[in-house]
């Protein structure tokens, strides 16, 4: 690694972490000012609030704003270099513009890797901790707002390609329910039917206990009927699958999310598109760090009238456009017919093209 690489990389990394620390501090101060009354009512100690709330809140916010922090950091220190004519001197010494961008690419890849690892394991855990604290101490309406009330009604879903289950009512707290039905088909014909007046989850044996069970096995000639006061069954759904929490996907690590997606795909779930967008975003958002790094370096490397102020204003505008494209594509995927993979990667494709265009047009 040459002296130039070390110089630019040190500025890149130090500026980024300074920006991250500064903006995180501002966000935390604002959050404390808004929730002071709630913290007092919770009667928790300062250490408990830090561990139970801010250990989840800070990683969640930092991951959300990570690409923006990177983009503004690159624009800020590169604009300062351009204002001091350092970039002119670098290029005048015979170093190509492509070679000049190498440390930016190294730094962008390093930060992209950090964000990618965070999205796979750290951020889901932080989301879980933050959500639990919010529901318990901050917003009493938090649960219903996320469609996470304790009692669910009229659940109907597919267990496997031939089997469907229906539930009249289910309490997520007691893990008990009423009017459970199960139907199995073969060649579009009903071959098995089960009905239970009530059921509950057996935590010790990890099975469902069905009560007052009427079981029918049908064949082309006749049918067999059995009645059981109690019946223990192992189905491929668990209490967590009956929560129907739209934000449950944010609290799963990537391996757990992959397994959940496979299960929901088999069941033909309506929320499959939402789950796939979340999964693809965990890979797409870290890549945006590298793309925004290139855009920021190319834009800010040219010395212009207005200096850092002009570059920062332009950077904020591009960041807003990126966020808007991301939100629109997600809405079209979850509410429309846009492919989830394309919805997650479309902003990167568009801004990747912008990065290539700006690089080709940049004065070298």
> Model pTM?
0.77
Stretch 78-105: mean pLDDT: 88
Those residues with Cβ within 8 angstroms of residue 15's Cβ, 6 or more apart along the chain or in another chain: 73, 74, 76, 77
- In the numeric block, the tokens 């130039």 are attached to 4
Q: If pLDDT is split at 50, 70 and 90, which confidence band does 137 have?
A: confident
Share of the chain above pLDDT 90, in %: 38
Long-range own/partner contacts, residues 202-206 (CB < 8 A, 24 or more apart): 202/232, 203/175, 205/232, 206/234, 206/238
Decide if pLDDT at 146 tops 60: no
Q: Give the pLDDT of residue 122.
A: 92
CA dist., res. 58 & res. 211, Å (int): 46
Of residues 3 and 173, the one with the higher pLDDT is 3
Decide if pLDDT at 333 tops 80: no
Q: Give the pLDDT of residue 144.
A: 41
For 109, counting Cβ atoms within 10 Å of its Cβ (0-12 exposed, 13-18 middle, 19+ buried), the class is: middle
Angle (nearest 5°) at CA 350 between 345 and 356: 120
Task: Give the bridge partners for 201, in sequence order.
Answer: 208
Q: If pLDDT is split at 50, 70 and 90, which confidence band does 141 have?
A: very low
Task: Give the bridge partners for 163, in sequence order.
Answer: 160, 184
User: Of 32, 5, 14, 124, which is closest to residue 69 (Cα–Cα)?
Assistant: 14
Dihedral of CA 316/321/326/327: which sign? positive
For 79, counting Cβ atoms within 10 Å of its Cβ (0-12 exposed, 13-18 middle, 19+ buried), the class is: buried
Q: If pLDDT is split at 50, 70 and 90, which confidence band does 215 have?
A: very high
Direct distance between the N- and C-terminal alpha carbons of the chain, in angstroms, rounded to an integer: 22
Q: Give the pLDDT of residue 184.
A: 92
Model pLDDT for residues 24-78, shown as the tens digit of each residue: 999 999 999 988 888 888 888 989 999 989 999 999 999 988 998 898 899 889 9
CA dist., res. 360 & res. 348, Å (int): 18
Q: If pLDDT is split at 50, 70 and 90, which confidence band does 142 have?
A: very low
């Amino acid at each position: 690694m040459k002296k130039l690489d070390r110089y630019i990389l040190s500025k890149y990394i130090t500026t980024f972490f300074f920006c991250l620390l500064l903006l995180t501090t501002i966000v935390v101060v604002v959050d404390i000012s808004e929730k002071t009354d709630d913290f007092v009512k919770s009667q928790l100690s300062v250490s408990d609030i830090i561990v139970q709330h801010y250990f989840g809140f800070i990683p969640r916010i930092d991951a959300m704003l990570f690409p923006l922090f990177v983009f503004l950091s690159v624009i800020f220190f590169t604009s300062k270099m351009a204002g001091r004519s350092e970039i002119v001197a670098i290029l005048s010494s015979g170093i190509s513009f492509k070679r000049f961008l190498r440390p930016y690419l190294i730094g962008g890849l390093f930060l992209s890797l950090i964000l990618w690892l965070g999205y796979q394991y750290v951020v889901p855990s932080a989301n879980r901790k933050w959500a639990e604290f919010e529901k318990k101490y901050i917003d009493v309406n938090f649960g219903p707002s996320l469609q996470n009330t304790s009692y669910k009604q009229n659940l109907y879903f597919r267990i496997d390609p031939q089997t469907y289950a229906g539930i009249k009512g289910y309490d997520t707290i007691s893990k008990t329910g009423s009017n459970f039905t199960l139907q199995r088909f073969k060649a579009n014909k009903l071959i098995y039917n089960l009905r239970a007046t009530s059921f509950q989850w057996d935590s010790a044996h990890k099975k469902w206990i069905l009560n007052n069970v009427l079981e029918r096995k049908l064949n082309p000639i006749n049918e067999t009927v059995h009645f059981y006061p109690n019946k223990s069954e192992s189905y491929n759904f668990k209490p967590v699958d009956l929560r129907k929490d739209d934000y449950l996907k944010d609290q799963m690590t990537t391996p757990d999310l992959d397994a959940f997606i496979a299960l929901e795909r088999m069941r033909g779930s309506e929320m499959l598109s939402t789950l796939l967008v979340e999964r693809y975003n965990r890979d797409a958002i870290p890549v945006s760090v590298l793309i925004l790094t290139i855009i920021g370096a190319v834009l800010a490397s040219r010395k212009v009238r207005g200096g850092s102020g002009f570059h920062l204003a332009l950077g904020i505008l591009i960041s807003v456009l990126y966020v808007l494209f991301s939100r629109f594509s997600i809405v079209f995927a979850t509410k429309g017919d846009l492919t989830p993979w394309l919805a997650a990667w479309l902003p990167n494709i568009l801004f990747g093209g912008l990065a290539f265009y700006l690089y080709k047009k940049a004065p070298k």
